[in-house]
């Protein structure tokens, strides 16, 4: 009885006298989310997208800007939305706190609470990129956007993040050897310190598809696709990895630990597999894309962690909802969608499209995966 009283008093103390304990927003409440990219001229309307997401029972959604038509369509749906502040605005938001406040007022506060905006992603893959001035501006933009949410009284419900590519790492294989690159570390550490203060996770865009495409002679494709394989052993930690994504995530955890942030959570903000590609991307096929996304969906439904962090359940936003015909770059960039531009499925992993499709699970040796509310 005394033990119960002690813990009850302790919890009351934490709640009322430790403000960070009660005011850390959480933008990702499930395990399975989706990136809703819109670089296309032929995809379904935002209202149709809401219908699609509800039918698929996907509630965690990321968009790359604050498109008004999307924010209005999500009104009253209960879907949890993270909006993006595009890279082209990062320098402006860093230089002018008033502009940051106006942006948050116009693009977030104006739609709350009817549209369930739970996060703001400030820039995407800024650190590790080629624009040094943009990288230097990131921390200031993050702070100004966060301070704007505080002034508006929504900092306890809207989480601030930024997503990183794997270009921020050096020596990521085996996972236990991973560190941040020299040119990145000096900018990364103060950013991590701020995110640690406000309770934000480390957001990572991780693509086994790209790792395999660049190193097909070194990586077993079954290891990249969550299929049966010999896996790899990390001799330093004595941990075994049976899939590449887990290894990529644990490499990030090691880099964070080496930088002094052992307790920071890693969330996957982008991962996926292209269904079509250029001649130098032979692994970009509907069969491989279906296999990766089906197995990833099963993996996330297990609600388990990685070998290095077994008690911290993995969370991932899939890239992407639709094929996007206007994206620049390789053909694969246009073909990551779980759904085609007309709303039909790209391949069968258990979701229903807006329209019937010729896509069939006949090329996959598994039963249709039953829908799960993530």
Which member of 88, 235, 265, 270 is catalytic? 270
Tokens of 357: 């499709």
Which member of 80, 125, 281, 324 is catalytic? 125
294 touches 366 (CB < 8 A): yes
324 touches 38 (CB < 8 A): yes
Give the torsion sign (CA, 99, 85, 193, 180).
negative
Rounded CA separation 20/216 (Å): 45
Rounded CA separation 190/139 (Å): 8
Rounded CA separation 325/200 (Å): 33
187 touches 139 (CB < 8 A): yes
β-pairing verdict for 117-124 and 159-164: parallel
Rounded CA separation 51/54 (Å): 5
Tokens of 203: 């957001």
- The verdict on whether 193 is a catalytic residue reads no
- The verdict on whether 333 is a catalytic residue reads no
Peptide bond preceding 298: is omega within 30 degrees of 0, i.e. cis?
no
Active site residues: 125, 270
């Amino acid at each position: 009885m005394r033990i119960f009283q002690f813990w009850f008093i302790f919890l009351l103390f934490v709640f009322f006298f430790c403000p960070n304990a009660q005011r850390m927003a959480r933008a990702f409440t499930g395990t399975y989310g989706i990136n809703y990219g819109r670089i296309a001229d032929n995809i379904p309307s935002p209202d149709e997208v809401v219908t699609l997401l509800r039918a698929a029972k996907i509630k965690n959604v990321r968009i790359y800007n604050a498109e008004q038509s999307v924010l209005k369509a999500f009104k009253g749906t209960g879907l949890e939305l993270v909006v993006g502040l595009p890279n082209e605005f990062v320098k402006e938001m860093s230089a002018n706190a008033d502009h940051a406040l106006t942006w948050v007022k116009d693009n977030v506060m104006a739609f709350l609470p009817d549209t369930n905006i739970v996060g703001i992603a400030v820039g995407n893959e800024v650190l590790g990129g080629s624009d040094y001035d943009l990288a230097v501006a990131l921390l200031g933009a993050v702070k100004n956007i966060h301070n704007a949410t505080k002034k508006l009284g929504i900092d306890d419900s809207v989480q601030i993040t930024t997503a990183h590519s794997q270009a921020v790492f050096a020596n990521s294989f085996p996972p236990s050897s991973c560190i941040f690159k020299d040119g990145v570390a000096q900018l990364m550490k103060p950013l991590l310190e701020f995110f640690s203060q406000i309770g934000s996770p480390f957001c990572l865009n991780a693509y086994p598809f790209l790792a395999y495409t660049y190193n097909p002679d070194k990586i077993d494709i079954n290891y990249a696709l969550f299929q049966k394989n010999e896996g790899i052993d990390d001799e330093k930690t004595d941990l075994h990895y049976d899939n590449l994504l887990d290894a990529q995530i644990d490499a990030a955890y090691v880099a964070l630990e080496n930088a002094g942030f052992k307790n920071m959570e890693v969330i996957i903000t982008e991962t996926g597999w292209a269904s079509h590609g250029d001649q130098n991307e032979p692994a970009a096929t509907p069969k491989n894309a279906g296999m990766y996304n089906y197995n990833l969906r099963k993996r996330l439904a297990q609600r388990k962690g990685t070998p290095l962090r077994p008690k911290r359940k993995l969370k991932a936003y899939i890239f992407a909802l639709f094929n996007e015909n206007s994206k620049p770059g390789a053909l694969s960039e246009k073909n990551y969608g779980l759904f085609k531009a007309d709303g039909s499925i790209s391949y069968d992993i258990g979701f229903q499209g807006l329209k019937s499709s010729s896509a069939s699970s006949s090329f996959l040796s598994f039963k249709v995966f039953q829908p799960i509310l993530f």
